[in-house]
A = this chain, B = another copy of it.
Amino acid sequence: MITRMSSLFLRTLREDPADAEVPSHKLLVRAGYIRRVSPGIYSWLPLGKAVMENVARIVREEMNRIGGQELLFPALLPREPYELTGRWTEYGDNIFRLKDRKGQDYLLGPTHEELFTEVVKSEYSSYKDYPVILYQIQTKYRDEARPRAGLLRGREFIMKDAYSFDLDDEGLKRSYEIHREAYIKIFDRLGLSYRIVAAMSGAMGGSASEEFLAPCPIGEDTFVSCTSCDYAANTEAVRVPAPPAEDIAGHPELQVLDTPNTPTIESLVDLVNSLGVLDRPITAADTLKNVVVKVTAPGSTQAEVLVVGVPGDREVDMKRLQAALDPAEVAMFEAADFATHPGLVRGYIGPQMLRQLGIRYLVDPRIVTGTSWVTGANQPDRHAANVVAGRDFTPDGTIEAADVRAGDPCPQCGSPLIIDRGIEIGHIFQLGRKYADAFALDALGSDGKPIRITMGCYGIGVSRAVAAIAEQSHDELGLSWPKAIAPFDVHLVATGKDEAVFEQAERIADELLRRGVRVIYDDRRAVSPGVKFTDAELLGMPTIAVVGRGLAEGVVEVRDRAGGQRDNVPLAEVVENLAAR
C-alpha cells in the first residue's frame, strides 16, 4: 500500500517548540516524528516509530549475528532483587518506585542486571551451558532530575541491553571483543559518526569499559583524544599521570605568611612573589587549592566531609568528582556547614591539620610526595609556603577531580590532548563478578567444583540513537536521514493542478513499491509546491523526486537530500534511477 501524505498521520510545524533547545529535539517535533507527553516522556508518531524500529532492527540483526539471544523482561519489577544488590537504595531519586494494591514495593526498571543474573542462575547450572549472550530491546525508566534535549535524556526511553556470561576472564574478554565489533557494525550501519573512548563504569560496577560517543556540539559528555596516538577517553575517565615522587628532604621549612586581601589565586601569587620570601617566583600551579564537599553514601542520611586538593591552576570538575565518588552523592559545602566546622577556615584551608580534624583528604595525582606548595594556613588572612607533601601533610589517597583541558598531555604518549563533546550512544564493559557474587551465580565445573560466572554488560540507547543521528544528519532545512534508518527511501512529490501529473506520480509510486523501494507519496491536491518541498526537506528522506513542470519535457527532478544535487531524469528511467540509489 502506498503511504500518502494526504492520509498519513502527520502534521509538520513551522515553528520550533518552545521547550526545545537542541536541533534533534526541534526537528523531530517539527517534522512530526515525536510529541511530548510529559517532561522526558514522548509519543512516537508513525514516522518516528518507523525510524526507531529501523534502528532496533539493525541492532537486533547484529546482536543475533554474534549469537545473542533475545528475550524480554518486565519493566515493572519487584524490589527484592534490587534490594539484594543494594541498588534499590543506591539509585536514590533516580528510579521510579511504586507500590501495588497490596503495598508491595516495585520499581520501573532502569537497567536489568539483576533480572539477567537471576534468569541465568535459574536456567543454567553446568559449565557446559556457558558462554551465553542474552539481550533485550525494551522500554526503560529513569527519574532524571533534569530531563532535557528531547530523546537525548528522557525519563522513558528505549534501550538494547545485552549481557555476556562466561566461565573465566579470557571468555569475558572474548565476549567483550565480539560485542565491540558488533557495535562497530551497528553504528556504521546506522550512519553515525562515532568515537570509541575509555569510560568509567558508573553505578554498575566493573572494570574495562568503553563508550561509543557520537561527536556533536550539544553532547552531554566531553571526551579527550590525543593529537598523535590512539588515546581517547571520556573526560570522567581520564587518569592524570602522576609525576615521580621527589625527595622530601632539602625543602625549606614551612613558613606562614600574612596574606590579607588575596581573594583570588592570582592575587595570592602576586603577593607571594612580591614578598620575595621564596627561592623562586611561583605560578598558580604552585599553589594548592583545597575544596570542601559533602559526600553522602547511598542509603545514608549522614554526609561525610571531604577535602579535595588540586593544583591552584585547576578547577574541581564536579562531573569528574561525582564520577570518581559514584554511587555516593556529592554536594557543595555551604556557609552553614562551615559554621559547624570551625576548624575549616573558609578561603584559608590547608591540608596541614586535616588529619587532626579527622577529615578525609584526597588529592590530584600530580600532588606527589616531595612536592612543595603554597596553600592555606588554616587562619584568616594567612597562607603557608613550603608546605611539602609527605612532610607537612599526607593525603588519604588520590582522586581524579581536577578539570581536564585541551593541551593537557596525553596519558599514553604525552602529546597534547584535544577536547570534544559527544552523545553516549553505546557502552560496553567488563562487569566482572559483582552481580554473580550478589546472586551466587555459579556453574558446576567439570571437576564438580563451582565456578563463579563473570559478566559483561553492553548497552545501546535506541531512542537516543535516533536523536543522535538527527543531530549529526540535519541542516537548516530539516532532517536528512541515512538510508538505512530513514522511514522511506524516496519522497515523491507531485505538484501543480494537472491530474495527469498525479496519475504519472501514482504510476511511479506503484512501480517503486513493486521494486521494493520504500516510497512516501505527496499526493495532496490543495497544497502548494512550496509547502510540499518544505515538508519534504523537513522530513528528510534521502531522495526527493518531483513530478511536476518537468513532465512536459519528459523529466522528473531527483534531488539528493543530503548532498543537494539535482538531476533531471527522463521519465522512462526514473524508477530505475530511484531504485539504484
Q: Say yes or no: B96 contacts A76, CB within 8 Å.
A: yes
Question: Is A124 interfacial (CB 8 A cutoff)?
Answer: yes
Contact (A71, B9) CB under 8 Å given A43-B119, A76-B108 = yes
Q: Name the residue on B nearest A50 (C-beta).
A: B70
Q: Say yes or no: B69 contacts A9, CB within 8 Å.
A: yes
Complex CA distance for A156 and B138, rounded to whole angstroms: 14
What are 21 contact pairs spanning A and B, CB under 8 A?
Answer: A8-B69, A9-B134, A37-B77, A37-B115, A38-B78, A41-B77, A43-B73, A44-B71, A44-B72, A45-B123, A46-B70, A46-B71, A49-B72, A74-B156, A75-B139, A76-B156, A96-B98, A96-B106, A98-B98, A101-B143, A139-B139
Give the residues from 435 to 491 in chain A that come closer than 8 angstroms, CB to CB, to chain B: none
Contact (A74, B11) CB under 8 Å given A43-B115, A100-B96, A101-B145 = no
Q: Say yes or no: A69 contacts B46, CB within 8 Å.
A: yes
Question: Is A132 interfacial (CB 8 A cutoff)?
Answer: yes
Q: How far is the CB of A171 from chain B (nearest CB, A)?
A: 14
Question: Is A65 interfacial (CB 8 A cutoff)?
Answer: yes
Chain B contacts for A69, CB-based, 8 A: 8-9, 46
Chain A positions 89 through 112: 1 when the CB is less than 8 Å from some CB of chain B, otherwise 0: 000010011101100001010000
Main SS of the interface on chain A? mixed
Q: Say yes or no: B9 contacts A123, CB within 8 Å.
A: yes
Chain A positions 37 through 77: 1 when the CB is less than 8 Å from some CB of chain B, otherwise 0: 11001111110110010000000000011010111111111
Q: Say yes or no: A43 contacts B11, CB within 8 Å.
A: no
Question: Is A264 interfacial (CB 8 A cutoff)?
Answer: no
Question: Is A340 interfacial (CB 8 A cutoff)?
Answer: no
Give the bracket for the number of chain A residues in contact with chain B: 35 or more
Q: How far is the CB of A113 from chain B (nearest CB, A)?
A: 14
Chain B contacts for A73, CB-based, 8 A: 37, 43-44
Complex CA distance for A78 and B122, rounded to whole angstroms: 37
Q: Say yes or no: A38 contacts B77, CB within 8 Å.
A: yes
Complex CA distance for A1 and B143, rounded to whole angstroms: 39
Contact partner of A49 among B9, B70, B100, B143, CB < 8 A? B70
Give the residues from 126 to 145 in chain A that come closer than 8 angstroms, CB to CB, to chain B: 132, 134, 139, 141, 143, 145
Q: How far is the CB of A351 from chain B (nearest CB, A)?
A: 37
Q: Name the residue on B nearest A10 (C-beta).
A: B123
Q: Say yes or no: B155 contacts A76, CB within 8 Å.
A: yes
Chain B contacts for A391, CB-based, 8 A: none
